[in-house]
Amino acid sequence: MTPSKGGYAGACFWRFDRHYGTPKLVVEVSVQRLFSMFPNGWPGRGLLLLRLVSGILLINDGITGLLEGPPWPGNIRLCLETSTGMLLLVGLWTPAAGILVVIVELWSMLSRTGDLRNCVALATFGAALAMLGPGVRSIDARLFGRKRIDIREH
């Protein structure tokens, strides 16, 4: 199946189709559709900057908190914060990492363990990255980005 014919060969989405009056579950598989875009140029640089700033802040908050030695439930949150910061820093599994950042920062806000402004900013950055994608300078773009094949005539 080609992109112009309605999809990609490796897509994974669930939908219900009606075939002769009876609904049936159809599963399509696509990693490409998880990422909304891989922009280059200034938009790509903006996404790279957003990923770098949020990744560095998350890693800093996580490692600083782990070195202070909070009780056990706090360690789980801080380990998640550090690991999602690393994922965002390199641009790997960016939508999943962005959603996890939102969850971790909401957890931090509700448990009153983090600075409210920092938590709101990082949750917003995570949501934006989950919706926009990682940009062209990321591991996601290398693994799942659209490929261009040039065929030369000899």
Q: Is the pTM of the predicted complex or chain greater than 0.75?
A: no
Q: Looking at per-residue confidence, does 49 or 136 come out higher?
A: 49
- In this structure, which amino acid lies at residue 15? R
CA 78/CA 72 separation, integer angstroms? 10
**Amino acid identity, position 1:** M
138 and 90 Cβ atoms separated by less than 8 Å: yes
The proportion of the chain whose per-residue pLDDT surpasses 90, expressed as a percent, equals 29
> Residues of the chain with pLDDT > 70: what percent?
71
How far, in Å, CA of 87 to CA of 43, rounded? 20
Q: Provide the angle, in degrees to the nearest 10, between the axes of the packed helices 41-68 and 94-110.
A: 40
> Exposed/middle/buried for 83, CB within 10 Å: 0-12, 13-18, 19+?
middle
CA 6 to chain centre: 24
Res 44 pLDDT > 90: no
* Calpha distance 44→37 (Å, rounded): 9
Q: Which of 46, 37, 52 is nearest to 91 (CA)?
A: 52
Residue bearing the bigger pLDDT, 2 or 104 = 104
Contact between residue 24 and residue 16 where contact means Cβ atoms under 8 Å apart: yes
Any idea what DSSP says for residue 93?
Answer: S
